[in-house]
Amino acid sequence: MQIFNRVPGRRLFVFANSWGVEWGYDGFGKLPYDYFDRYVFECWDAIVKPKELRNFRSKNLAKRGSQSWSGLDEQGRKVYGFEIGDPTTDERHGWAFAIEREGRLEVEELFVRHDFRGLGIGRWLAERIAELARIKAVPVAVWVSFADSKRESEKTYPMLLAIARILGVRFQKSPVNWAAYYATSDGDGSDTPIEPSEFPARPRSPFNVIAAAALALSSFEPHLNGSANGRAPIVVQATNQDTEVTIGSAEWDAMTERRANLIVKKSKQSLSADELAEFQRLQRMTHLSLEKAYPRPRLTEEERAIIERALEHSHNDTP
């Protein structure tokens, strides 16, 4: 989720989602400050374009589809990245980011996409970080999010331990409330993570409440014709064959699961004509059901102006 601007008078953030232009208002929605304060535990400042890093440099590495890059952030700190993927499709399979901070090389993220795990990509990324630390002659520090803790992701726990061994780090008690684990090559520690005494609270709303909140906060308004990027908002028109489904019912759950399966297949390969027709029908029924159960509020003039500016910003950043 990328936050573009805020609406101070109504204590709302305007944000861009990654679910496509059919969601919300051309892919944009709103998030209340109170929800943010209560549930957000970690945020990232996205660098949309490489040129936003000063002294940006990149080069291809020996391993097919791999590259490294570096640059200076807004505070003059050196940032490093390693990526690997399919050079024919420009699809990334795994990546790792690290930053020089307080005389250490801090690993901010090391991630391998689910479909490409077990192929040695995680090991390759960890080896690149370890090699960089040796060249720079600095210790390594690793922050591990709660999402990657043993409690939340037991299946990936062995991978975490393997990466820690490659990096030569040992675990200490996390000194911050936004990371479950902390490990460093500087000083003593444990071979296994030290579990935090508390885990952050998380929203425990049922799916229908989450869906309703997402729709209500999105403020999608078909009457707003035309936008800063020249596209008109997408209006989902129901047909006589489409009927609303009771949210939370067994029929709703089955429809949602089928829709999700079609979305996954659509992202990996093309749908047949029949599947595409079915997907479009399920899309219409989903919107129809949510619209009837949870009518969305209208945008204020200020909010509409902010979203229009965000759309213009998004359009200008498109390569």
Q: What is the DSSP string of the chain?
A: -EEEEEEGGGTEEEEE-SS-TTTTBTTEEEEEHHHHHHH---------SGGGSEEEEEEE-SSTTEEEEEEE-TTS-EEEEEEEEETTTTEEEEEEEEEEETTEEEEEEEEE-GGGTTSSHHHHHHHHHHHHHHHHT--EEEEE-GGGSTTT-GGGHHHHHHHHHHHT-EEE--SSTT-SEEEESSS--BSS----S---------HHHHHHHHHHHH---TT----TTSPPPP-----TT-----TTSHHHHHHHHHHHHHHHHHHHSPPPHHHHHHHHHHHHHHHHHHHHHSPPPPPPHHHHHHHHHHHHHHHHH--
Please state the domain extents for the chain.
2-41+204-317, 50-184
Average pLDDT over residues 183-196: 94
* Selected residue with higher pLDDT from 1 and 161: 161
- Of how many residues is the chain composed? 319
- Beta bridge partner(s), residue 83: 67, 95
| pLDDT over 70, % of the chain | 68
273-294 pLDDT, tens digit per residue, is 899 888 888 888 887 887 777 6
CATH number for domain 50-184, candidates 3.90.79.10, 3.40.1440.60, 3.40.630.30, 1.10.260.40:
3.40.630.30
Whether the per-residue pLDDT at 208 is higher than 60: the answer is: no
Structural contact between residues 286 and 253, judged by C-beta atoms closer than 8 angstroms: no
Predicted pLDDT at 250: 83
**Lowest model confidence (mean pLDDT) among 145-154, 173-182, 288-297, 307-316:** 307-316
Average pLDDT over residues 244-262: 83
Predicted pLDDT at 107: 95
Among 172-176, 177-181, 201-205, 294-298, the range of highest mean pLDDT: 172-176
**Lowest model confidence (mean pLDDT) among 10-14, 60-64, 133-137:** 10-14
Model pTM above 0.85: no
The Cβ of residue 156 has, within 10 Å, a number of other Cβ atoms equal to 18
Residue 262 binned pLDDT confidence (cut-offs 50, 70, 90): confident
Nearest partner of 164 among 136, 131, 142, 146, judged by Cα: 142
Which residue's structure tokens are 């297949």?
265
Predicted pLDDT at 309: 62
Residue 319 binned pLDDT confidence (cut-offs 50, 70, 90): very low
**Distance of alpha carbon 259 from alpha carbon 248, whole angstroms:** 15
For the chain, what is the mean pLDDT?
78
Measured torsion, CA atoms of residues 244, 249, 251, 256, in degrees rounded to the nearest 10 = 80
**Distance of alpha carbon 265 from alpha carbon 181, whole angstroms:** 35
**DSSP state string for 271-287:** PPHHHHHHHHHHHHHHH
* Selected residue with higher pLDDT from 86 and 302: 86
Predicted pLDDT at 254: 85
Structural contact between residues 153 and 147, judged by C-beta atoms closer than 8 angstroms: yes
Whether the per-residue pLDDT at 227 is higher than 50: the answer is: no
Which residue's structure tokens are 């390759």?
124
* Selected residue with higher pLDDT from 217 and 143: 143
Residue 1 binned pLDDT confidence (cut-offs 50, 70, 90): very low
Predicted pLDDT at 119: 92
Among 107-116, 197-206, 257-266, 302-311, the range of highest mean pLDDT: 107-116
Residue 218 binned pLDDT confidence (cut-offs 50, 70, 90): very low
Average pLDDT over residues 59-70: 93
Whether the per-residue pLDDT at 263 is higher than 70: the answer is: yes
